[in-house]
Amino acid sequence: MSRTGKLPIIIPAGIEVVLKDGAVVVKGKGGTLSRPVHPAVTIDVTASAVSVSPKHQSRLSRALWGTYAAHIRNMVAGVATPFVKKLQIEGIGYRAEIAGKNIKLMLGFSHPVVVAIPSNITVAIEKNVISVSGADKDAVGQFAASVRDLKKPEPYKGKGIRYEGEVVREKQGKKAAAASA
């Protein structure tokens, strides 16, 4: 039994949830999100809540039950208030700037790295902090992860791109070998 699937998803005021052409559409002040519905789950929409249930008692239906409940819960939350991920850039000479619909990153390579910003995501840069925000939790997390993968924090000096609040365990490095000859 899915713990998250059993709970009804409360729809706040100002948000509209509709089942349309085999997809769940959530509209609100933050935008419109849509996700196709797998035939193994049943979604019931009332005026104040959404409930998800498995269509059969198969392993796939039970697995997708909680997954779809979590997806719809994230869609409702994201349309109400956008999800935000913050990335910190650490290292001498490492910096980022917005150039039109792209982020231009100087990460210690011989060339700047240019990353295109998806249309459903907003990016803001202040000093060495990149703020990625948007209504779609999956898209925000995926974009933040792809930017972080360009230069992961290295374990010796801690230089690179990390999530805000992420702790990077630094290694000690080589010790000077004592002259024991």
Residues 114-118: contacts with CB under 8 Å, at least 24 apart: 115/146, 115/147, 115/150, 117/143, 118/143
* Same domain (yes/no): 64, 105: no
Which residues of the chain fall short of a pLDDT of 50? Answer: 176-181
Residue 44 domain boundaries: 3-80
Q: 174 lies in a domain?
A: no
Over the stretch 96-123, which tens digit does the pLDDT of each residue have? 999 999 999 999 999 999 999 999 999 9
Q: 172 lies in a domain?
A: no
* Same domain (yes/no): 28, 68: yes
DSSP annotation of 85 reads E
Amino acid, single-letter form, for residue 101: K
Tokens of 67: 């997954």
Q: Could you say which of 58, 80, 102 is where a domain stops?
A: 80
- Domain holding 11: CATH number? 3.90.930.12
- The model's pTM is 0.87
Distance CA 90, CA 155 (A): 12
What pLDDT score does 4 carry? 80
Distance CA 115, CA 68 (A): 31
Are 101 and 118 a contacting pair, CB within 8 Å? Answer: no
Q: 91 lies in a domain?
A: yes
Name the domain count of the chain. Answer: 2
Q: 159 lies in a domain?
A: yes
